[in-house]
Structure formats: structure tokens, C-alpha cells
Amino acid sequence: MKVAIVGAGFMGGVHAGCYQQIDDVDLAAVVDVRPEQREKLAGEHGATPFSTLEQVLADETIDIVDCCLPTYLHRDCVVAALDAGKHVLCEKPFATSLQECDDMIAASKRAGRKFMIAQVIRFWPEYAATKAYVDTGALGEILALVAHRLASPPGWSQENWLLQPAKSLGAVVDMQVHDLDFVRYLLGDPVSVTSTALLSETGALDHVFTNLKYDKHLAFTEASCLMPPNWPFRMDLRIVGTKATLEMDITRDPTLRVIDGNGDTLALPVAQGDGYQAEINHFCAAVRNDTPITIAPPEDSRLSMKLALCSKQAAETGEIVVF
């Protein structure tokens, strides 16, 4: 299988390294409007650099297009690639609107090609182990879930697009969609959403608290890119059940543990590797074997995007938003 990566920024580089680990995948092309970036990434991986998407879409040997462009550019890239008969992996967040999500899903159905949003947390070893453990029922009935995702302001995006709310939608979407997606993965869809958020200097909602109302659960997420410079990135999760409590914290060793009703602690095994490799392995296997995308199908990613937009609306209006 031959792959073209569109977008030679940080995430394009991460994905390129993952494709190199798969024996039957050839990273054949890198597309970017910036000559230095496309030539550098292509040179590191033995690929051919291109300046336009149209050049690789015209190449019938390209099987997969991997869209690592800024969020506001996803829709046009993905629809064009699917219409050209390519399978498409696209970085999260899905898009800047539900209409854009619907356009992409419709294009994938029209083309009969695989399409997946890279909701990497579903594949991240600690989170994948959490999902598997919750599914055993060992925690009992889930009572409450709390998730945090905290980082310094991103200074590495092209022309600082991540700090521009019209392009990234702010941390309320760009960062928080990770945890909102995982909450849905575990608990299903909430009844309603309430959120409060702080505006950054750029006008983005970049520190957000979100409460998700369920009939039988409590769920809360915090996301921020307003932490001080050099703040060590942190993501953590706590799930309280009727039988035991699970804690995940990437800054701690072990990163994943369960405390049972007797107060005994069990360190849970976590697979080696990272979520980026796992998600790309999953997508390539679906293309290779013509099998369904089961862990992060696009219709489900659309619902997580809807939830993130509900949180944004709730923060902007101060109202309860029905999901």
C-alpha cells in the first residue's frame, strides 16, 4: 500500500514514522505548500515531495491519503481524496462544523472507501487497557468519571493556527475532544452538557470545565492549553465504580492502577508502544483486509465532535445544551 501524507508539520512527522514500521506500507509522497517542510519530511522517509494535493490524487498508485492539515482545511482535503478513490485517515478534531463532518462521511459512502478520524486516545495503551478493564465489569456500576488534559500554549503550529479560534475552535474542541470522545466510548451519549471556560488573549476558549449529565453517572472533563511555559503535559483519568476505582496518570509509575473495595491496589498491565502506531495499524489493516473500522468509525467520531461543539456552545451561552 502506498501512502501520501498531506501536511508536513508535527503530526505529519509522527504519522510518517508510524508508516515506516509497517512492512507492506510505502510512504510514497509528502504534500505541503512549504518547500522546506515537505522536502525535509520526504527526504527523511524516502518519499517524493509535492506542492499540491492534486498531484498525488492524480497518481493511481496512491492508495491512502493521510490528512494532517489544520482542522479548518480537513473537509476540502478529505472530500477531494475520497472522490479521487483514495482511502483517507484524517487527524482530529474531525472538522469545524457538523456539516463538514457530514460532507466527509457522505463522500466516503459515495466512494466506497475507508475513512477514519484519528481519535488516538481510543488506541492509547493506558486508555485501551482502561476500556478493556471497564468492559469486564470488575469496577461494578460506573458512578463517576473525571478526566484532565493540561498543556502549555502550543507554539509549534504553522502561523499559530492552533491559537486562532476561527481555525482551531480553541482547546474547548481541539484538546477536549479527546476526553469527550473517551467518555462517550465508555458511557455512551450524555443527556445534556454544561460548561464554563476562560478566554485566552486570542479570544479562544482555552481553559474549560465541562459537566456531562447522565441518568446514572457523573462525568467531568477539564482541558487547558493555558498552563505555564514548560509545564509537563499531563493527561489523567479517574473512574469510580461500585466495586473499585481506576486511576490513570501518565506522570506516575505505574500509570494505571485499580484500588478495590478493601483498599488493595492492583497495577494493571499496559501494552508497549503508543496510540499513534496502534491507530495507523488499525486503519491500514482495514484497508488491507477490506474490513470495517471498528474502534473509531467516522459516524461515532461525528458524535464526539457534536459533543465538543455542545460544550463550546454551553461555555459561550452559559446555558444547558441538550445533546
Looking at the structure, do residues 31 and 154 belong to the same domain, yes or no?
no
- Start-to-end CA span in the chain (Å): 39
Residue 40 backbone phi and psi in degrees, to 5: -65, -50
Please spell the DSSP secondary structure of 158-207, one letter per residue: GGGGGG-HHHH--HHHHTHHHHHHHHHHHH---SEEEEEEEE-TTS-EEE
State the pTM of this model: 0.96
In a domain? residue 287: no
Of 100, 118, 136, the residue that ends a domain is 118
pLDDT along the chain (323 residues), means of 10: 97 97 98 97 98 97 98 98 98 98 98 98 98 98 98 84 89 97 98 96 94 97 94 96 97 96 95 96 98 98 98 98 98
Looking at the structure, do residues 220 and 93 belong to the same domain, yes or no?
no
- CA-nearest of 48, 64, 127 to 287 is 64
How confident is the model at residue 77, as a pLDDT? 98
How confident is the model at residue 163, as a pLDDT? 82
How confident is the model at residue 157, as a pLDDT? 79
Of 69, 102, 118, the residue that ends a domain is 118
Looking at the structure, do residues 196 and 252 belong to the same domain, yes or no?
yes
Q: How many other β-carbons are positioned within 10 Å of the β-carbon of residue 169?
A: 25
CATH number at residue 100: 3.40.50.720
How confident is the model at residue 115, as a pLDDT? 98
d(CA 279, CA 32): 23
Looking at the structure, do residues 317 and 202 belong to the same domain, yes or no?
yes
Sequence letter at residue 219: A
Domain count, the chain: 2
Strands 234-241 and 87-91: unpaired
How confident is the model at residue 289, as a pLDDT? 98
Looking at the structure, do residues 181 and 318 belong to the same domain, yes or no?
yes
Looking at the structure, do residues 160 and 309 belong to the same domain, yes or no?
yes
